[in-house]
Amino acid sequence: MGFSSRARFTARAPAPAQLLPAALANPAGAIVAGARRDPAAAERRIVLFRHVGLLESYFDGELDLEGDLRGALATGMGGDFAQPNRPVALRNRWHERRFSNASAQQAKANARFHYALGTPFYRLWLDEALMMYTCAYWKEGTRTREQAQQNKIDHVCAKLRLAPGEEVVDIGSGFGGFMFRAHQPCGVRVTGINTTTEQVTMVRDAIARRGLGGPHRGERAAGAVHP
């Protein structure tokens, strides 16, 4: 399968004991994967789709991993374990034909599949105050995700030279973090546009709670934040 010769990856089923013939190894220590439901299915996935199969088996609960997963994946990505083979390439091609954003209907379905997972899920790993989905700005002295995300928005506002009374359209407004943060220090009116119905509803509710509401402009408009 072309795994790195430096690494060792073994997989076992809790009962009865059964080894999967996969061999991803890493210098820091072995990774042990316990196949929970269907060892044969996990084995086929890994053999056919390499690192994609390994990750999908883990995501679907077919494998339990113990050991230095980060080290094993780093070693595997450094070799040819991460290179797309023919099955991966064919499946990617099929996926693109089936789920591409070629139509507005499919594009909206794709957006909802990714972003309409519920606010509680995103609160597990996004910053608490603004729930920003994009990379933060960790300038010197920053200690928390909340500070880093505020740094980013403040930096963007400064680069745009936003001034009180101006209007901004935030396309892909997500949970409204940029809308609320840009409004506070700059005094600008911000209109958010989003394709995900669940996020639009959430932002409209947040606007109403803060008493910042402006008129809605169609079903995809999250609303307007203004002084």
Q: Which residues, listed in sequence order, are joined to residue 219 by a DSSP beta bridge? A: none
Return the CATH number at 217. 3.40.50.150
> Are residue 83 and residue 171 in the same domain, yes or no?
no
Provide the domain limits for residue 150: 123-225
> Are residue 64 and residue 144 in the same domain, yes or no?
no
Q: In the predicted model, is pLDDT for residue 4 greater than 50?
A: no
> Are residue 220 and residue 145 in the same domain, yes or no?
yes
> Are residue 65 and residue 155 in the same domain, yes or no?
no
> Are residue 54 and residue 130 in the same domain, yes or no?
no
Q: Which of 62, 88, 114 is a domain's end point? A: 88
pLDDT at residue number 34: 53
> Are residue 133 and residue 51 in the same domain, yes or no?
no
Q: In the predicted model, is pLDDT for residue 106 greater than 70?
A: yes
> Are residue 131 and residue 82 in the same domain, yes or no?
no
In the chain, the number of structural domains is: 2
Q: Cα–Cα distance between 90 and 134 in angstroms, integer?
A: 30
pLDDT at residue number 37: 63
> Are residue 135 and residue 217 in the same domain, yes or no?
yes
Pick the closest to residue 114 from 198, 227, 207 (CA basis): 198
pLDDT at residue number 169: 92
> Are residue 81 and residue 156 in the same domain, yes or no?
no
pLDDT at residue number 6: 41
Q: Cα–Cα distance between 227 and 213 in angstroms, integer?
A: 9
Q: Cα–Cα distance between 132 and 145 in angstroms, integer?
A: 10
Coarse DSSP helix, strand, coil percentages of the chain, rounded to the nearest 5 percent:
45, 15, 40
Instruction: Tell me the pLDDT tens digit for each residue of 67-86.
Output: 676 776 676 666 666 677 88
Instruction: Tell me the pLDDT tens digit for each residue of 9-18.
Output: 454 444 333 3
**Per-residue tokens: 134:** 């994009």
| Structural domain contains residue 96 | no
| Structural domain contains residue 201 | yes
Residue length of the chain: 227
| Structural domain contains residue 58 | yes
| Structural domain contains residue 97 | no
pTM of the model: 0.65
* Phi, psi for 100 (deg, rounded to 5): -70, 165
* Phi, psi for 6 (deg, rounded to 5): -80, -15
> Are residue 145 and residue 200 in the same domain, yes or no?
yes
Instruction: Tell me the pLDDT tens digit for each residue of 119-177.
Output: 888 888 899 889 998 899 999 999 999 999 999 999 999 999 999 989 999 998 999 99
Average pLDDT over residues 104-108: 88
- Specify whether the CB–CB gap between 28 and 68 falls below 8 A: yes
Enter the DSSP assignment of 186. H
| Structural domain contains residue 104 | no
Average pLDDT over residues 82-108: 87
| Structural domain contains residue 93 | no
